[in-house]
Amino acid sequence: MTMINLLRTDFMKQKGGFIWLFLLIIPLGTTAAMFLDMYLRYEDYLYQKVQQQGTTSWHLLLGENHFVLGWGAFLPVFVAVIAALVHHVEFKQQSWKSLLSLPVPRGSVFISKFFMILLFSSLLIMLNTLGLVLVGKLSGFPEGFTFEFYSSYVLYQFLGILGVAALHNWLSSCFKNAVYPVVIAFVGMIATSIVRLSFPEKVKFIPYSYAYYADGLKENDPMVALYGGLIAGILILVFGIIEFKKRDIV
Partner 1 sequence: MSDYLIETNQLTKKFGNFKAVDSIDLKVKKGSIYGFLGPNGAGKSTTIRMLLGLIQPTSGRVNLFGKPLKSNRIPILKRVGSMVEYPSYYGHLTAYENLNTTRILLGLEAKEIDKVLEIVRLTEVKNKAVKKFSMGMKQRLGIANALLGNPELLILDEPTNGLDPSGIHEIRDLIKSLPKKMGITVLVSSHILSEIDLLATDVGIITKGKLVFQGSLEELHQRGKSQIAIEANPVEDAAAHLINNGFQPEIEGETIYLQVGEAGPAVLNKELVMNGFAVNKLAVERKTLEDIFLEVTKEGATA
Q: How far apart are CA 168 and CA 146, in angstroms?
A: 33
Report CA 177 to chain centroid distance, whole Å.
21
CB of 7 to partner 1, least distance (A): 10
Q: How far apart are CA 229 and CA 222, in angstroms?
A: 10
Q: Which uninterrupted H or E stretch holds 174?
A: helix 162-174
Does 6 bind partner 1 (CB under 8 A)? Our answer is: yes
Interaction with partner 1 in 100-129: which residues (CB under 8 A)?
A: 100-105
Q: How far apart are CA 68 and CA 247, in angstroms?
A: 42
Q: How far apart are CA 158 and CA 61, in angstroms?
A: 19
The mark string for 64-103 relative to partner 1 (x by CB under 8 A, - otherwise) is -------------------------x--xxxxxxxxxxxx
CB of 84 to partner 1, least distance (A): 16
Does 48 bind partner 1 (CB under 8 A)? Our answer is: no
CB of 235 to partner 1, least distance (A): 24
- Between 17 and 140, whose beta carbon lies closer to partner 1? 17
Tell me how many residues contact partner 1 (CB under 8 A): 30
Q: Exposure pattern of 218-228 as b/e (b: 16+ CB <10 Å)?
A: eebebebbbeb
Q: Given CA atoms 11, 12, 18, 24 in this order, what sign does their dihedral have? A: positive
- Extract long-range pairs of 128-131: CB within 8 Å, 24+ residues apart: 128/26, 128/27, 128/30, 128/31, 128/65, 128/71, 129/153, 129/154, 130/27, 131/27, 131/28, 131/30, 131/31, 131/34
The mark string for 15-44 relative to partner 1 (x by CB under 8 A, - otherwise) is xxx---------------------------
Does 13 bind partner 1 (CB under 8 A)? Our answer is: yes
The mark string for 168-207 relative to partner 1 (x by CB under 8 A, - otherwise) is ----------------------------------------
- Between 52 and 101, whose beta carbon lies closer to partner 1? 101
Tell me which residues touch partner 1 (CB under 8 A).
1-2, 5-6, 8-9, 12-13, 15-17, 89, 92-105, 246, 248-250
